[in-house]
Amino acid sequence: MSSAQQGPGEPEVALSDEEWRARLSPQEYAVLRQAGTERPFTGEYTDTTTEGVYSCRACGAELFRSTEKFESHCGWPSFFDPADTDAVILREDDSLGMRRVEVLCRKCHSHLGHVFEGEGYPTPTDQRYCINSLSLRLEPVES
């Protein structure tokens, strides 16, 4: 993986569990703060082609841009690269009996999804950031 795979350190946005629960819906809290996953093909941004910036739904940090979004047909929004290399933290995830790489928002350490590589998608990075729609908020570009 990339150099973004260093330890997370302290989050810039650090709220108590109660504050996160007040800020987020129960579904958002389950994904962002408890590393849950929304069901495939149900997310708001799975098939959207709207141009814009995808930010963290928990803290508002810019994470991805529509120019790096691609159709992977996996059931979740897919991106081949974050908007900024420092926007996310990558961390080994051995849960569910498999080895994966978890993607966290660097600013608030919220769970976004997982990143996979070597799957053969025709993208510049050969990576697929598989991100939960509930972790994102799309800010469309004004035309």
The CATH number that applies at residue 133 is 2.170.150.20
In a domain, 9, yes or no: no
Q: What is the pLDDT along the chain (143 residues), one digit of tens a residue?
A: 443 444 557 888 989 999 999 999 999 999 999 999 999 999 999 999 999 999 999 999 999 999 999 999 999 999 999 988 889 999 988 887 778 899 999 999 999 999 999 999 999 999 999 999 999 999 998 76
In a domain, 4, yes or no: no
In a domain, 5, yes or no: no
Return the residue matching tokens 């814009």.
52
| pLDDT at residue 95, rounded to an integer | 80
Return the residue matching tokens 């997310």.
43
56 neighbors 110 (Cβ within 8 angstroms): yes
In a domain, 47, yes or no: yes
Tokens encoding 136: 């994102």
What are the catalytic residues?
A: 130
In a domain, 2, yes or no: no
Tokens encoding 117: 């590589």
Tally of structural domains, the chain: 1
In a domain, 134, yes or no: yes
- The closest alpha carbon to 13, from 26, 27, 24, belongs to 24
In a domain, 11, yes or no: no
State how far the Cα of 109 lies from the Cα of 100, in Å rounded to an integer.
17
| pLDDT at residue 108, rounded to an integer | 97
Which residue segment(s) compose the domain that 123 sits in? 17-140
Residue 58 vs residues 46, 49, 97, 137: alpha-carbon distances, Å: 19, 22, 28, 9
The DSSP call for residue 58 is T
In a domain, 81, yes or no: yes
Q: How many CB atoms lie within 10 A of CB 17?
A: 9
